[in-house]
Amino acid sequence: MTLSAVAAAAIAAALEEAGHGERTATVRRLAELYGVSPRTIYRVASLGGRRSPGVGRRDDYRIWTGAVVALAGRAPDPKKRVPLDVALEAAVEVGAVPPEAAAMPVATLRRLAREMGLNERTKRTQRLHADYPMQALQIDGSSSEYLVVADVRDDGDHLLKLHRRPYSASGYKNKPLGPERLRVLLYAVWDMCTGYTLARYVVAKGETALDQLDFFLWVCGAKDDPRIVMHGVPDDLWSDLGAFAKHRATGDLLERLGVHLATGAPYAKERMGGVERTHRTRWERFERALFMRDPDTIRLSELNARLREYDIRENDMRASRTPVPGLADANRRAAWVALTNARPADNPLRELPDNPMATVAHADPRWIDGNGIVRWRGGQYECAGGWHDRWVQVRQAIDGSGELVLEDESTRERRVATRYVPRPYGEIRAAPKTPLERLRDTAPEVSGADLYAPADAPPAVVPMPARAAPAAPLDNPLDAGRYASLDEAMRALQAVCLYPLRGALRADAVAQIEAAGLDKEYVRELGLALVDQYTEGSS
């Protein structure tokens, strides 16, 4: 449609009178009035349409922006860097940018930082996934958001109370402490394949490895409620670098169960996002719902009973993370059972052994000294059987009861250690003699022999050596495994053997040594073999 000159003049006048920020709305209104497109209005008014982002007038602006942003990023938190106007002033002062950069508008500096991608952005993460249930579990502990300890009952239970006071700026972890500085803690697991989750509340002074280990074993064991289907030993267990991952008893039990403990870098919480998300969901849907109850107190046992009911309903209500073939929109519980049954035959779900907590023990490497004494937690112990001068693993029940078990790190043999009791003065208990000591005891009984007594040369015999050029001296600094001559090798053999070598025995030894090329190791082994031969003959 062609507009007349009068209409074009009216359009130009209307746009000229439009205030700042009103031109786009004015163009739309004029387009509806004249029945044309907004592009036609722009063309008739000779405005050139919408303005495109302008091109930087100075190329050095971008260079200066990079230097300023790099200086602003020296703050420890990358998401809370130094303001760019402050960083620009500092960059000019230290000479990172020329003095004329101080005239660059701060708005231009911020715009260029955005265009160059120098702003802190949330980076793309990879979705956590497992191929089958119990291939990978995430475990984590956290404080309760609203519950505090009110009293410790005589029956061992704890009375909890809802904390209604608004939180301070320090967050939910600064709630009032209960008696004996007790806190309400929540431990949870999250299956990486289906999203199946379980949790349990405990009362303690803080997160402990044994509480978390006890919860993990409860998750892996059989449950009284058939609606809770999660059980078995996982292949991988993801954890942060807290007490659970650092405790030696935890690592020892997980290693014996065949569970690989996967830990990440410090403060890298993104990898634990699955189980962290379940904490926030429980605070929102479970703990806040407790405020709708009439009493604001609840026992720990009652709280865990309601938490199990909540977990059962959540797993029945929410869809599985991994689709199940032939089962559309399967919930977490149905998917966990179906996908577990579909696991490969050579990799079935492993059941948890009976009472694994009874096998949890403190384990530390210790050295048994020459007296056969090992030191453990301020005490001295000794091991029967003659163990001494060796490294062992010392294990004891986690509660300090029971026997102290020593395990040889090289042979994996185990023995029980008892408290060391000093023997009365004058009582000497000799240790069995070593083979070398027994050999030395029998060596003086053998008559000596003069192997190198001077001998007269045969009469009327004149040696006629063959003509040969003298050998050039050649020193081999790398040849340390052979003797220089047969005489030296025989002397070394005699030093090891301690018994005289005569006649055919000596000739046979010479032949063997020459055949071995005067090898030092061979001479030593031959001497030991001759010692054994003499010892057996004398006995």
Could you report the per-residue pLDDT of 247-260, keeping only the tens digit for each? 888 888 899 899 99
- Number of other CB atoms surrounding residue 225 within 10 Å: 9
pLDDT for position 474: 58
Q: Are strands 136-143 and 236-239 parallel, antiparallel or unpaired?
A: parallel
Tokens for 223?
């449950």
pLDDT for position 428: 66
Residue 204 CB burial class (10 angstroms; 0-12, 13-18, ≥19): middle
Structural contact between residues 409 and 403, judged by C-beta atoms closer than 8 angstroms: no
Q: What stretch of H or E contains 114?
A: helix 106-115
CATH code reported for the domain at 136-341? 3.30.420.10
Instruction: Return all residues near 139 (Cβ < 8 A) that are at least 6 apart.
Output: 187, 188, 189, 212, 215, 216, 237, 238, 239, 244, 275
pLDDT for position 478: 56
pLDDT for position 18: 83
Backbone angles phi, psi at 270, to 5 degrees: -60, -35
The alpha-helical segments, DSSP class H, found in 342-410 are: none
Nearest to 416 by CA among 401, 400, 394, 399: 394
pLDDT for position 241: 87
pLDDT digit string (tens) for the chain, length 539 residues: 678 888 888 888 888 888 777 888 889 888 888 888 888 888 888 765 555 555 555 678 999 999 999 988 887 766 678 888 899 999 999 999 999 999 899 999 999 988 888 876 666 677 888 999 999 999 999 999 889 999 998 888 999 998 876 555 455 556 778 888 899 999 999 999 999 999 999 999 989 998 999 999 999 999 999 999 999 999 999 998 888 998 888 888 899 899 999 987 766 667 788 898 899 899 889 998 898 888 889 999 999 999 999 999 999 999 999 999 988 889 999 999 999 999 988 999 999 998 888 888 777 889 988 888 888 888 888 887 778 888 998 888 776 677 888 888 888 888 888 888 887 876 666 666 777 877 777 776 656 677 777 877 777 777 777 888 876 655 556 556 778 788 888 888 888 888 888 888 889 999 998 898 888 889 888 988 888 888 877 66
Whole-number Å distance between alpha carbons of 458 and 462 = 9
Structural contact between residues 351 and 233, judged by C-beta atoms closer than 8 angstroms: yes
pLDDT for position 78: 64
| Domain regions of the chain by residue span | 5-44, 61-115, 136-341, 360-419, 433-443+481-539
